Structure 1
Amino acid sequence: MTDKELVKKAIEAKNNAYVPYSKFPVGAALLTKEGRVYTGCNVECASYGGTNCAERTAIFKAVSEGDRNIDAIAVVSDLDDYTYPCGICRQVIVEFGKGIKMIIAKSEDDFRVHTIDDLLPHSFTPEDLEKMDGGINNGI
């Protein structure tokens, strides 16, 4: 799947966003290394803490279906500018690898490509926990 095709899937997902409060729809499309695509949109809640971003929706869908090998994620909104993932989404994305390609789009034909490591340098990852004395495998 090309970057442009993945952006198109993100645009389609954006149309499903539930954003009665912010009026700021965001769509995401995730491509696994096996070629499967999972889409997500942001879902708002009157109790704002219950809101979930498009990127995490797509990731949670993939993981709930047994897919954890993320190759790329495309993100798009209705802004006339690039919409980058929030900090929480960046942390969730890097959980699955520093090399994940991030396609940040204004449209199908106007997008930037980064890695999640570009967007969240010096991140805290599962490997950091493994460095701890005793590590995650000893009940910590």
Structure 2
Amino acid sequence: MCSAISQHGKHEFRAIAIATTSPHDTWAAPCGACRQFLVEFGDFPVILTNNKNEKVKIIKTKELLPDCFCPDDM
């Protein structure tokens, strides 16, 4: 996201996919700081998956960070 923003300026994201390697062969959710970063760019789908694409979860950014401090709050 930082690369896209620095190259193309601020814009809306339609979705983002996050793939992780997990010892349990499942997806991993982003940390709190990453959740805040994501929600500052809108309420879009976040696709969570493992590196084998076996387990997939799709969740919106505001579901990842309920009661968030969002751009609308400023």
- 2:26–2:55 Cα contact (<8 Å) kept: no
Q: How does 1:112-131 map to 2 (within 5 A)?
A: 112-129=57-74
Match of 2:5 in 1: 63
Match of 1:103 in 2: 47
Match of 1:10 in 2: none
Is 1:78 matched up with 2:12? Answer: no
User: TM-score, length-normalised on structure 2?
Assistant: 0.84
- Point out 4+ residue stretches in structure 1 off by more than 3 angstroms: none
Shift of 1:76: 1.3
Amino acid at match of 2:61: I
Partner SS state of residue 62, structure 2: helix
RMSD: 1.3
User: TM-score, length-normalised on structure 1?
Assistant: 0.47
Amino acid at match of 2:49: A
Structure 1 residues without counterparts, runs of 5 or longer: 1-58, 130-140
Partner SS state of residue 121, structure 1: coil
Shift of 1:95: 0.6
Quote the Cα distance in structure 2 between the aligned partners of 1:114 and 1:77: 16
Quote the Cα distance in structure 2 between the aligned partners of 1:109 and 1:82: 9
Matched residues, number = 70
Larger radius of gyration: 1
% same residue: 33
Amino acid at match of 1:121: P
